[in-house]
Structure formats: C-alpha cells, structure tokens
Amino acid sequence: MAKQTRAWQRMLSGRRLDLLDPTPVDIEIEDIAHGLAFVARWNGQTQGDYPYSVAEHSLLVEALFSRMEPKATPSDKLNALLHDAPEYVIGDMISPVKAAVGPGYGALDDRLTAAIHIRFGLPAQTPVKLKKKIKKADTVSAWMEAVQIAGFSIGEADKIFGRPDAALIEGLDIHLRPPVEVRRDFTARHAELLKEMS
C-alpha cells in the first residue's frame, strides 16, 4: 500500500492546517500575520535590507482601497486586508508561475480563502463587485512597488499596471521593515477592523 502524502502543515499556534480541506477552526490571525510577514513579494527581487512582504503589501492595499472607497464598510476593508491571506501557507507566486501551475493553484487558494473568511465573519467568497474594487487597489500597489522598490522605470510600470492618480498615492511611500514590525501592524489592523465590525 502506497504511503499517503502529507497535505497539512503545523502552524506556530499549534494548529494543524489541512491544505486540501482547511477548516475555519484551524485558522489563527497570528499564523497568517507571521507567515505573510516572511513571504517576499516579487520573488524577493526588491531593493533594501528587508524583503517586501505580503503582509506589508496587504496593509498598503487596504489603505489604498480605503482611499478609493471612502464609504467601504469595515468588512469590505477586512476583505482587502486579507486578499492575499492564503499566501501565508502557499507562498506568493508571480502571475506567470500561477499560469504554469494551472487551475489547481486557484482551487487551493479558493479553499483557503473560504476558511479564512468564515473564521473572521466574512462571506466565504468575496462578492465579484468588491473583488474588482480590491483588485484595482492591488494594481495601484503593484505600480508603487514596481517603481519604488522593484527596479521598474515609471514608463515600464505605466505600460504594465497603468499609472495611478497622483492624489490617490500621495503620502503613501514604501519603507521596508523587519518582519516583526510588519507582523505587529498587520495583526493590529486586523483587530481594529474586527472591532469596527462588531
């Protein structure tokens, strides 16, 4: 009889997260914040002494989304903060790699997203209209990251991501920080939004 391949990961919280069948009871924000603070965006190809983490990116996306959607509810903002949360266990794959991996990656991402959302009182699936708005903020974030830390020229970033409105990004600069600081800020923002939702 063939040995079954392990499909779960032990989290620092002690939880055992089954990647094929994740459940909300195995989701902890501290695990998400810790994992995302150590996952590098841009495959680590960014300037500076620290990687630009998915946690830092998520904070920026939520800040941009909140500026773009001033009437957004706390739950909408939490959706934005958690838009890349599954990457705490599956990592951040650049789009060309996701395309090469195929539909299996998307299915895994969807299962994890549903468990994470249910854990924190959100609908299992982000409504399409909201998802599109968060994606717009995500694209603005990508432009900022590209020109500020990933070595793109403004012209190159404009072609790929489209240039954002200058007023939208005013005062939002990317500063690379130690993972412990980013983890703390991600967890704190999550707590603030949960409090606003209650």
In this prediction the pTM is 0.93
- pLDDT(83) > 90: yes
% residues pLDDT > 90 (the chain):
83
Q: Could you tell me where the DSSP H helices lie in the chain?
A: 29-38, 54-68, 74-81, 87-90, 95-101, 103-119, 128-148, 154-161, 166-169, 179-197
Contact indicator for 57, 189 with CB cutoff of 8 Å: no
- In this structure, the dihedral spanned by the alpha carbons of residues 187, 89, 9 and 79, taken in order and rounded to 10 degrees, is 50
Range 23-34 average pLDDT: 97
The yes/no answer on whether domain 26-197 falls in CATH 3.30.200.20 is: no
pLDDT of 10 reads 92
